[in-house]
Structure 1
Amino acid sequence: MPVLAIDGDDFTLDGEPFRIISGGLHYFRVHPDQWADRLRKARLMGLNTVETYVPWNLHQPRPDVFRLDAGLDLPAFLDLAAAEGLHVLLRPGPYICAEWEGGGLPSWLLTDPDIRLRSQHPAYLSAVEGYFEQLLPPLLDRLATRGGPVIAVQVENEFGAYSDEWAHLHHLAELLRRHGVDVPLFTCDQPADLARGSLPGVLATANFGSRARQGLAALRAHQPDGPLMCTEFWIGWFDRWGGHHVVREPAAAAQELDELLATGASVNLYMFHGGTSFGFTNGANDKHTYRPTVGSYDYDAPLDEAGDPTAKYHAFREVIAKYAPVPEEPVPQPSPKLGGITVPLIESAPLFGNLPVLGTPVPSERPLAMEQLQQDFGYVLYKAILPGAGPAVLELEDVRDRAQVFVDGQPVGVLERERHERALAFTVPRAGSVLRVLVENQGRVNYGQGLHDRKGLLGRVLVNGVELTGWTNLPLTLRTLDELGFGAGEGPVVGPAFHRGTFEVAEPADTFVHLPGWTKGNVWVNGFHLGRHWSRGPQRSLHLPGPVLRPGSNEITVLELHATGPARTVELRDRPDLGPTEE
């Protein structure tokens, strides 16, 4: 593949002038069987490059485990991009933001109570060096200097919005070079943060979603020489639970793109195809109030969550054609969808009745944080004995992030970090009653100073002003549901339970799981964790990729955290419901 270079104020590719016209496409948010389809559609829109982050927390889920397989086979994704004739902008972090759990930083970093993330703290640096030592060697043959598609690599991500510790950025750049990265390096920041987030000798780029001339002027004022580039041209936005579905009118977004390209600058659309934060991988924001992000990362992008071209795809293709060659091949039609299927969930497995097969309890005097339990995602079930009968006020010092409280198996209330709730009153029926607190990690903060986001019950638990001690802590990662004991699901169910049913498919295709009447929990199909459902909205459906299905019988399992009535069904429809677009 040709090699990218910087020649004055321009990019060149093997000596010829080159403009990067790129789009974000995160391999870890797309089923690997659909990577080739999405890459082809990127080329057909007129893109010559795709951009991807790399999620450290998935590739290295524990300090002694590193994965580059299945949906994390980044070398395979890069090879598919090369086969499509696309270049790649690689953004390996270690921090990525991306509305991703913890901004991509693995939760095990937080087992060190003194660690300072994104800094020169020795424990953090040691972990980053270990990460790069395992990630980078398999990727070196994919660099353009060695015939691969990767033409440039980013140093960290929007560092200027977090810190001015220049030595840390410099250290990361040197680390990339030391491990053999010999293509151009770049940083990206919002215009106001350029001075804090850039490095001498490394190309600075800017992030914005409108007023391109002003953003590029700020970049030029900061960096008098070098190509102008917007690394994150925001053409949509993400959604949060309790908000509305954010959209941006295609014609307006296309006009902004036209204005940017008219300056001669390079661009990376954020996003070209958002995809899905499957399972527990969504992030959160915390600007004095915690706000978890939904699982859909549709982002109102040119390709929707299921990979179909939208009106924005067609509008952008027309704009790009004014400035660069666009393939004459026709735009792909939407893929076939499954719909009109109602699935009865006829088997149930109560959560509390299946605890022995879901995890191993750990005793402690005070509740342990998830990180102390070597747990990244999911839930922790805390249990203690209440000292006496009668009225009780339960006070939880810090809930991270949502606590359901049970006394002798009966629900007595919910406390949410998002609502700044910490106290709950109830009546204890007898001395020796069992208190259970089921705490959900709803997504670690992915942006700003809240990154040090430990999960679970933090601090003391008081009952009527007296500290309650003598706890067991049960990590519920829910990585597998194979050992659950299902029985006939007849009648109403009080409390958390898994519900299971089967459905037939003649020919697998993408579809959307809708859960009318359900409250909150998670959905798995054939063991693949689609993500969370929550009646709070705005998201009211979950994307089910066709490759997850198989011809014949398929199995769907729903964990419902609240009560369910006797009629338990879910629906597969051919359209998503991402919620209302206005509050």
Structure 2
Amino acid sequence: MPRLEIAADGFRLDDRPFRIVSGALHYFRVHPEQWADRLHKARLLGLNTVETYVPWNLHARRRGEFRLDAGLDLPRFLRLAAAEGLHVLLRPGPYICAEWEGGGLPSWLLAEEGIALRSRDPRFLRAVDEYLGALLPPLLPSLGSRGGPVLAVQLENEYGAYGDDAAYLADLAALLRRHGVDVPLFTCDQPSDLGRGGLEGVLRTVNFGSRAESGLAALREHQPAGPLMCSEFWIGWFDRWGGTHAVRGADDAAAELDRLLAAGASVNVYMFHGGTNFGFTNGANDKGTYRPTVTSYDYDAPLDEAGDPTPKYTAFREVLAKHVPVPDEPVPAPAPKLGLGPVPLTHCAPLLDRADLLGGAVEAARPLTMEELGQDFGFVLYETRLPDRGPVVLRAEDVRDRAQVFVDGQPVGVLEREGREHALAFTVPRPGARLTVLVENQGRVNYGPGVHDRKGLLGRTLVGGREPATWSSRALPLDDLAALPFTSFDPQSPPVGPAFHRGHVEVERPADTFLALEGWTKGNVWVNGFALGRYWSRGAQATLYVPGPVLRAGRNEITVLELHASATRTVELRDRPDLGPTEE
């Protein structure tokens, strides 16, 4: 593929004028067996390019390790894009935001006391150097300069909303160049942040969802010549637990896209296909109140979470046809969905009694953070002994993010970061009673200074005004549930507190489906060992997307971790999603 050039009058490709018409498609939010399908539908929409972030924290969950396999096989994704005739905009971070856990920054960075992320802190830059040194060599054949699909590489991400240190951006640019990136670099920022987030000699682009003329004018003020580009044209939005499902009318979004293209600008539609925050990968926002993002990243995009075209796809295709060539090919019909009805969960395993099978404990004089335990996702279980009986108050200085409290295995209350709750009163039944605190990482903050988001019990934790002499801290990443011994559910003695529930369902022909958990409270779900994500009865999201490739013909296993209690013993596989009530 030809190399992209940045000229005073716009982009050029193979020495011809070129407009980037791109859509965001994150490989890590889509099952790898579905990549080719989503890329094909991108081309049919009329896109000539796709954009993807790269999540450092998934590729390098521990320092010194780096994965580029299975669902993280980025070289394969790039080859598939090229085979479909699509170019690629690559956004490797190191920070990506993306409503993704920690904005893509690996949690092990936070094991360094006082580290300044997204800065010239030598500890941060050394880690970034290691990351780029592992990521980029396998990707160099995919650069446009070497005949590959990658047209350009982004430098940082919306840095102007975070800082204004051009020397930091220059350091990152030098690292990218040193590791072999010889295609154009670009930055992106919202209109008001363009001055702080740019770097001399690097193409600036702008992000917005409306008022295209104003956004492009702001870009032109800071960049008098060169291409005009909106790197994130927001056509929907993400959802948070306890909110409504965000939607944006297809006609409104299409009209704004039309204005943007009529101005001669290039565009990257954010998102073309949102996908899913599988497992524990959702991020969170904290602008005074902590708000975790839901599992679905549907984003009200032209392709929905299951990869089916929506009315927005049709509306956008009609707009694009006015400005760029659109393939004269039929758009694929929605893929078949499974609706198998209720599935009984017949076996269970209590979490607290089996925690030793899920992670080792570390003794210390205080509760250790997840980062100190070398843990990124999941839960941490704290335990100590209470010397006296009678009423007592537990005071936790900083709960990150949700703590369930038990005395001798019996639940006594919950402390939530979102509600700024720090104290809980209960009665200790006997001297030596066991105090257990199960803390859930509900998603590290992905935007603003809050990215320095350590998890667990932070600061001082007092019981009856005193700090216990010793604490046990046990990491529960829940990466592997194979060691759990499940027994038949006994309705006469149901489990108290967090428990895993398991059942099986026969599937004749695997296809996409949606798991509904009516009557369940809060927890996580796995299908055949694949972590689907979180559910929560507070909504808005009421079903979890199950990609067809996760299922197999014959017997399939469903495992639910319920953190509280359920009013039912069944889940349901439905043929349509329920992402909650909307508010346009």
TM range (shorter): over 0.9
Distance in 2 (CA, whole Å) between partners of 1:151 and 1:470 is 55
Residues 527, 557 of structure 2: 8 Å contact kept: yes
Q: In structure 2, what is the equivalent of residue 568 of structure 1?
A: 569
**1:49-69 Cα distance to aligned partner (Å, 9 max, x none):** 000000000011111110000
Matches within 5 A, 1:102-121: 102-121=102-121
1:534 aligns with 2:536: yes
Q: In structure 2, what is the equivalent of residue 255 of structure 1?
A: 255
Q: In structure 2, what is the equivalent of residue 139 of structure 1?
A: 139
Letter in 1 for 2:534: R
SS of the counterpart of 1:372? coil
RMSD: 0.8
Letter in 1 for 2:582: T
Distance in 1 (CA, whole Å) between partners of 2:21 and 2:583 is 32
Q: In structure 1, what is the equivalent of residue 122 of structure 2?
A: 122
SS of the counterpart of 1:346? strand
Q: 1:469 to 1:582 in 2, by over 3 A?
A: farther
Matches within 5 A, 1:299-310: 299-310=299-310
Q: In structure 2, what is the equivalent of residue 154 of structure 1?
A: 154
Q: In structure 2, what is the equivalent of residue 2 of structure 1?
A: 2
Residues 346, 490 of structure 1: 8 Å contact kept: no
**1:145-172 Cα distance to aligned partner (Å, 9 max, x none):** 1010000000000000000011100111
Distance in 2 (CA, whole Å) between partners of 1:138 and 1:340 is 42
Q: In structure 2, what is the equivalent of residue 493 of structure 1?
A: 495
SS of the counterpart of 2:231? strand
Q: In structure 2, what is the equivalent of residue 509 of structure 1?
A: 511
Distance in 1 (CA, whole Å) between partners of 2:20 and 2:109 is 35
Residues 403, 414 of structure 1: 8 Å contact kept: yes
Residues 402, 417 of structure 2: 8 Å contact kept: yes
SS of the counterpart of 1:375? coil
Moved more, 9-18 or 519-528: 9-18
Q: In structure 2, what is the equivalent of residue 456 of structure 1?
A: 456
Structure 1 residue 448, shift from structure 2 partner: 0.2
SS of the counterpart of 2:317? helix
Letter in 1 for 2:405: V
Distance in 2 (CA, whole Å) between partners of 1:564 and 1:572 is 17
Q: In structure 2, what is the equivalent of residue 367 of structure 1?
A: 367
**1:458-517 Cα distance to aligned partner (Å, 9 max, x none):** 111112212223110111000011010100112132110000000000110000000000
SS of the counterpart of 1:516? coil
Structure 1 residue 355, shift from structure 2 partner: 1.6
Structure 1 residue 353, shift from structure 2 partner: 2.0
Letter in 2 for 1:326: V
**1:524-554 Cα distance to aligned partner (Å, 9 max, x none):** 0000000001001101110000000000000
Distance in 2 (CA, whole Å) between partners of 1:14 and 1:182 is 16
Distance in 2 (CA, whole Å) between partners of 1:437 and 1:392 is 15
Distance in 2 (CA, whole Å) between partners of 1:398 and 1:186 is 38
Letter in 1 for 2:215: G
**1:245-274 Cα distance to aligned partner (Å, 9 max, x none):** 000000000000000000000000000000
Moved beyond 6 Å, runs of 4+? none
Distance in 1 (CA, whole Å) between partners of 2:446 and 2:355 is 31
Q: In structure 1, what is the equivalent of residue 60 of structure 2?
A: 60
Moved more, 487-496 or 429-438: 487-496
Distance in 1 (CA, whole Å) between partners of 2:509 and 2:349 is 30
Residues 93, 154 of structure 2: 8 Å contact kept: yes
Letter in 2 for 1:380: V
Residues 9, 228 of structure 1: 8 Å contact kept: no
Distance in 1 (CA, whole Å) between partners of 2:209 and 2:293 is 20
Residues 244, 580 of structure 2: 8 Å contact kept: yes
**1:422-446 Cα distance to aligned partner (Å, 9 max, x none):** 0001111111110000000000000
TM-score (norm 1): 0.99
Structure 1 residue 173, shift from structure 2 partner: 0.7
Distance in 2 (CA, whole Å) between partners of 1:547 and 1:276 is 14
Q: In structure 2, what is the equivalent of residue 437 of structure 1?
A: 437
Distance in 1 (CA, whole Å) between partners of 2:75 and 2:123 is 28
How many positions carry a matched residue from both structures?
A: 582
Residues 530, 542 of structure 1: 8 Å contact kept: yes
Structure 1 residue 582, shift from structure 2 partner: 2.9
Structure 1 residue 174, shift from structure 2 partner: 1.1
Distance in 1 (CA, whole Å) between partners of 2:120 and 2:7 is 33
Structure 1 residue 9, shift from structure 2 partner: 2.1
Structure 1 residue 563, shift from structure 2 partner: 2.1
Q: In structure 1, what is the equivalent of residue 560 of structure 2?
A: 558
Q: In structure 2, what is the equivalent of residue 546 of structure 1?
A: 548
1:91 aligns with 2:119: no
Residues 509, 547 of structure 1: 8 Å contact kept: yes
Distance in 1 (CA, whole Å) between partners of 2:186 and 2:423 is 48
Structure 1 residue 7, shift from structure 2 partner: 1.8
**1:8-45 Cα distance to aligned partner (Å, 9 max, x none):** 12111110110000000000000000000000000000
Structure 1 residue 564, shift from structure 2 partner: 3.2
Letter in 2 for 1:339: G
SS of the counterpart of 1:345? strand
Distance in 1 (CA, whole Å) between partners of 2:218 and 2:352 is 57
Distance in 2 (CA, whole Å) between partners of 1:428 and 1:272 is 54
SS of the counterpart of 1:138? helix
Residues 493, 564 of structure 1: 8 Å contact kept: no
1:279 aligns with 2:279: yes
Residues 247, 583 of structure 2: 8 Å contact kept: no
SS of the counterpart of 1:373? coil
Distance in 2 (CA, whole Å) between partners of 1:56 and 1:89 is 17
Distance in 2 (CA, whole Å) between partners of 1:466 and 1:102 is 33
1:347 aligns with 2:347: yes
Structure 1 residue 178, shift from structure 2 partner: 1.1
List gaps (5 residues or longer) in structure 1. Answer: none
TM-score (norm 2): 0.99
SS of the counterpart of 2:355? helix
Matches within 5 A, 1:364-403: 364-403=364-403
SS of the counterpart of 1:219? helix
Structure 1 residue 357, shift from structure 2 partner: 1.1
Letter in 1 for 2:296: S
Distance in 2 (CA, whole Å) between partners of 1:35 and 1:292 is 27
Matches within 5 A, 1:201-280: 201-280=201-280
Q: In structure 1, what is the equivalent of residue 356 of structure 2?
A: 356
**1:341-400 Cα distance to aligned partner (Å, 9 max, x none):** 211000000112212210101001100000000000000010000121111111011100
Q: In structure 2, what is the equivalent of residue 174 of structure 1?
A: 174
Distance in 2 (CA, whole Å) between partners of 1:284 and 1:149 is 32
Residues 388, 432 of structure 1: 8 Å contact kept: yes
